[in-house]
Structures are given as structure tokens and as C-alpha cells.
Amino acid sequence: MYTLGIETSCDETSCSVLKDGDTILSNVISSSLFRHKQFGGIVPEIASRHCLEQIETVFRESLELAKIKPEDIDLIAVTEGPGLIGSLLVGISFAKAVAYRLKIPIIGVNHLEAHLAANFIGSKVPEKYVGLLVSGGHSILSYHEKEKIKILGSTVDDAVGEAYDKAAKLLGLSYPGGPVMDKLAGEGNPQVFRFTKPKQENPFAFSFSGIKTAVLYEVQKQQKKNGNSLLESFVRDMAASFQSSVVSWMVEKTLHAAEVMKVKHAAVGGGVSANSWLRKSLVEEGARRGVRVQFPERILSLDNAAMIARRGWELFKKGKKSGWNLTGLPNLKMGIK
Ligand code: KG4
Ligand code: ZN
């Protein structure tokens, strides 16, 4: 069975062909990130225009690489939300047109659930597991048992990727900040700055706005000392200290959730799951506590259509599909549909 996945929730335009839910035959990604860099963030209008320009080429290339013809596709899975409405509508309209022409079923996919599903391409889905979804817009701890999803906690303010991007901006680094901070952190001393772990009533909730403000104060102190500039060593040590703190919070909460929910399995997804320290610490600390922690391959951590195809295939196998009234849902929550 061939599933065509289509992802256009933000700045990426991606199409993927997945065979029998487990073998990626193609996963073509066209990113418009280079067009947004100068603005220090994603510009929705630029993102949706890029999707519109790219979608047909990306679709054709994904079929060519998979060595299949449009008539071979059995199912189309497309991101229905959350995301930017302009970008979402490009993928959904394209998916509907192709599905209508080929007379094949179409299924709308939740982008957040797909990030976690990326872990299970080519492997068995655990009976129950704890999910950690960390991206530019979300930080969510969830519990999964069969098709039931329970949200254990989410961020009360900034998402972790957003905190990375904002801290990087304060340090004069380029957008997106996550990958740059990750690289610099490896060259700095994580013990130089100490950040207080935010206290919350719900032990599974996150908060990242406090650490961003703490970085701002340290930056201002440093600028006062050095005539408005930042020493390279300061930037490296700050990146390392910031990363060490936020990673330790994510590790602690995820493993605490596994303990409370009595599960031996955790799966991580979203752009921040590409982070090298998070990957290493969570896998190692998990192993010490008897929890197997799974991360998707790096390319499947970032936005891509293979994860959408996988999640769509899972839902279709359970008898779900969408109607022609499928539309973009910018604020779609995890576990709602
Ligand atoms: O899932 P994603 O590609 O897009 C959203 O749906 O938000 O996540 C993008 C976020 C950005 O905030 C980016 O800075 C962060 O993921 N990110 C990272 C790393 N790579 C990407 N954060 C920390 N370390 C990384 N290596
Ligand atoms: Zn994403």
C-alpha cells in the first residue's frame, strides 16, 4: 500500500511516499527558511507563497524518487493543523485535488501526533508510552495507550524551541536559534550560569519564559561591562548553561512522567528533538531508570511529510478517513481528533 504524505504547516513544503506504513521510498523537503532569516522569524505570507510555488514540483519529485506513478497511490495523508492557515490550505487543497482526480481516500493528520509517530516508522508501536513533543510552538508531555492520548502537561508560557530562538537572538545569534545554540553549547562551560528550575503545581507542565528573562539580565550585565558587546566566551558559556538547564528539566519531567504512568517507554518528537544533548541525556538517564527512550532519525525530527504519511496510515488502518470538507485547523490540539 502506497501512502502519499503532504506537509505544509509552516515554512516547509514536503511530500513523501511511504510503503506499507514502514518503508520510506521518498521524503522530499523544500524549506523556505532562508527567506525568513533576515526577519528573525517566520513570515506567514512568505511561507505560504513558497508552499504554493513548490508543492507541484515537490509532489512530482517524491513520486519520481519512489519510482511510482500517481495511479499507484492508495491514500493521501495531509497535515490539517496546527500551523499557519495559508500554508495549511496549500497542502490541503492540493491533496484534495489529487485525491479527487485519482478517486482515492484522503485523511487529515494532526502535525503534533505525526511528530511522535515518526518514531515508529519501521518499528513496533509500544502498547503504552510517554510522549515528549518539543518544537518551536509546543512543549507537551502526553500519555499514549492504544489510540487514547492524555495530555499530562504543556508549557504555561513559551515553547522550548521559542525559548531557544529568543535566547539566541539576545546573544546576537542567527535564526533559528536551536541548532546554533546546540553547536555553540558543545564549546562552552555549562557550569558558568545557574538557572532556577521553575516551580509548578503540575509537575508535568513546562515554563521557559523565566530562563529567557534571566538570559536577558546576564546579557545586559555583560554589555555594561564590555561597552555594549558580548565576548565570544560569554556567548559559548551562556549557550552551554542554557542548554544544560532546559535539557535537564525536560529529562527530569519525562522520566518522572514515565514513572508515575508506570511505563517503560518514551518517544520524543518535534524540532527540538534534534538537539544533541537532549538525545544523549534522555537516552542515557532513561536507560539508568529502565525506560527505553526513542528519538526519530534527525531528518525525521524536523518537519517532513514521511511522519504525516505514517500517522495517516495508522489512522486509516483503524478505519478513519476524512471527507471533502477537510480544512486547515490552525489551533488543532493533540489528541482531539
Ligand atoms: O518542529 P519544528 O521544525 O517546527 C515547529 O513545528 O515549530 O521545530 C522548530 C524549532 C525551532 O524553534 C528550532 O530552533 C528548534 O526547533 N530546533 C532546535 C534544534 N534544531 C531545531 N532546538 C534545539 N536544538 C536543536 N538542535
Ligand atoms: Zn513541527
- The atom of ligand 1 lying closest to the CA of 12 is 3
CB of 272 closer than 6 A to ligand 1? Answer: yes
Strands (E), 181-225: none
CB of 135 closer than 6 A to ligand 1? Answer: yes
Distance 222 CA to ligand 1 centre (A): 27
CB of 271 closer than 6 A to ligand 1? Answer: yes
Q: What is the mean pLDDT of the chain?
A: 96
pTM for this one? Answer: 0.95
CB of 270 closer than 6 A to ligand 1? Answer: yes
Q: What is the largest CA-CA distance in the chain?
A: 67
Give the ligand whose atoms come closest to the C-alpha of residue 161: 1
Q: Which amino acid makes up residue 214?
A: A
SS3 322: coil
Segment 3-10 shows an average pLDDT of: 98
Which residues are within 8 A (CB) of 235 and not within 5 positions of it... i.e. 6 or more apart?
171, 172, 173, 184, 188
Q: Is the pLDDT of residue 337 over 70?
A: no
Q: Is the pLDDT of residue 168 over 70?
A: yes
- The atom of ligand 1 lying closest to the CA of 164 is 14
329 in Cβ contact with 322 (< 8 Å): no
Q: Supply φ then ψ for residue 216, to 5 degrees.
A: -55, -45
pLDDT of residue 227: 86
CB of 176 closer than 6 A to ligand 1? Answer: yes
Residues at Cβ < 5 Å from ligand 2 ion: 135, 303
- The atom of ligand 1 lying closest to the CA of 302 is 3
CA–CA separation, 300 and 1 (whole Å): 21
CA-nearest residue, atom 2 of ligand 1: 271
pLDDT digits (tens, 9 = 90+) for 104-145: 999 999 999 999 999 999 999 999 999 999 999 999 999 999
293 in Cβ contact with 266 (< 8 Å): yes
pLDDT digits (tens, 9 = 90+) for 48-107: 999 999 999 999 999 999 999 999 999 999 999 999 999 999 999 999 999 999 999 999
| Residue 157 in grid coordinates | 508560557
| Residue 74 in grid coordinates | 492508495
